[in-house]
Chains A and B, each alone.
Chain A
Amino acid sequence: MLQKRVIVCLDVRDGKTTKGVRFEGNVDIGDPVEMARACYEQGVDELVFYDITASAEGRGIMIEVVRRVAEQIFIPFCVGGGIATTDDMRAVLLAGAEKVSVNSQAVRNPRIIREGARRFGNQAIVLGMDALADRRMPSGYRVVINGGRVQTDLDALEWAREAERLGAGEIVVNSIDADGTRDGYELEVTRVIATGVGVPVVASGGAGVPGHLVEVFTRGAADAALVASMVHYGEYTVDDIKKVVADAGIPVRRQGARPEAGPV
């Protein structure tokens, strides 16, 4: 039986894992390659690296991070952030990533999804989507871009379907309402998208305890779930989370290289 995936997300700036802290900007919390390795040993199913570097110099550092990760972990991983052209996609895929994720850039230029899918296959192209609850929209959710700062006219479900039609092989639904709250995923938007498209949907934003993943895999109908701060500070290991999910009767892979491995 196909298992629900637990995916760890790492934000990377200038080659360091970083975390946005309210009123303080970003704080570096570690080496992404080391953190990726720890997650791998704990049995994470997949990893996502978001490059939040703005400079061209930082882009080069990110490619080097991707290359080092690929040499040490033997599971799929995705790279997002600042991907604007199919040449940007090619650079991270050649460095060893399986997938690239596009978000605001795809809203501005949807053709990048089609061109990327033609060139690298649908399985390599992930649409990241930030959704905000809005009762005026047909699905109840509006697509926002630039990290939630800019509203678009797009309905979340319609955009997800359009991205699938253009060739996206997977969709990450990040709830701006839930993001950073640690109160749980936004189950409704996850369910609306996950049951409305034919490609896998990854829930993102709001995970605080392992039970939140149980909810989003059942009531939210998600195929996979992103976690970040839950594991970044060693509060939970990936295996702690998976144990709770497995105990709830949800199929999940329980075989890390060293499932008992310590904190990320």
Chain B
Amino acid sequence: MKTLVVDYQAGNLRSVETALRHIGASHEITDDPVRLARAERIIFPGVGDAAHAMRLLAERGIDRVMRERHAAGIPILGICLGCQIVLEATEEGGAACLGLVPGTARRFPSECGKVPHMGWNTVRSREDHWLFRGVPAESSFYFVHSYYPAPESEEDAIAWCDYGIEFAAAVERGSLVATQFHPEKSGEAGLQLLRTFVEAG
């Protein structure tokens, strides 16, 4: 089953693409809402400014398609900014987001340390969660972000990370999973996670 990678011009998709090619996953990068509306598996990456990203998604009508695909139960993997704008809102520019997962992206308070939180940090996943299958416990993943996902319900968090405060490093709601870290830049642990996602279901 082909994975469609959403390209809405928010950041460079090359690293996601090379990682998918490396693990032999059939994929296509597209910004076409018609193609996405028929997608059976979606990767939703993103870096940069949340409000800008939401505008781009709305302009192309991809916001509506993402909500519809999520409602249809299609597997979706959000990455980095794609883990924040699946929430209802973000403190970054006060933007309204897709609302696939109840919650808000919040800015790290400066007491946590340097912002952005950049580098490798240990991720503790929910025991036996399918997305982390084959990933050694307490593996490190690569993060670059100033805002973190704060799902309303602790039930929606599937992994945690400590940066002065403990925050959700990954969330899940229905058929959607999303990681605040970059699996495509997290070495073998990240490649394993991507493999699990594209082979799931």
Contacts and interface: CB of A to CB of B under 8 A. Distances in A.
Contacts of B184: 74
A150 interface: no
Interface string B139-164: 11010100000000000000000110
B119 A93 contact: no
Contact of B116 (A40, A70, A71, A169): A169
Chain B binding site: helix, strand, loop or mixed by DSSP? mixed
A123 B47 contact: yes
B117 A2 contact: yes
A45 interface: yes
A140 interface: no
A93 B47 CA distance: 13
B191 A2 contact: no
B47 A74 contact: no
Interface stretch (A105-113, A151-159, A231-239, A251-259): A251-259
Interface residues of B, number: 36
B132 to A, nearest CB: 14
Contacts of B191: 74
A200 B18 CA distance: 27
Closest 10 pairs between A and B when the two form their complex, measured CB to CB? A253-B140, A253-B120, A123-B144, A3-B120, A257-B188, A2-B121, A96-B14, A76-B185, A121-B48, A70-B18
A169 B121 contact: no
A148 B42 CA distance: 49
Given A74-B22, A121-B47, A224-B119, A3 B140 contact: yes
A160 B17 CA distance: 34
B74 interface: no
Contacts of B185: 74-76, 98
A74 B14 CA distance: 11
A74 B191 CA distance: 8
Interface of B: 11-12, 14-15, 18-19, 21-22, 47-48, 110, 113-122, 136, 139-140, 142, 144, 162-163, 184-191
Residue of B47, B113, B116 ringed by the most chain A CB atoms within 10 A: B116
Contacts of A74: 15, 18-19, 22, 184-188, 190-191
Given A75-B187, A94-B12, A256-B187, A3 B121 contact: yes
A253 B189 CA distance: 12
Interface in A70-120: 70-72, 74-76, 93-96, 98
A51 B30 CA distance: 33
Contacts of A169: 116, 118
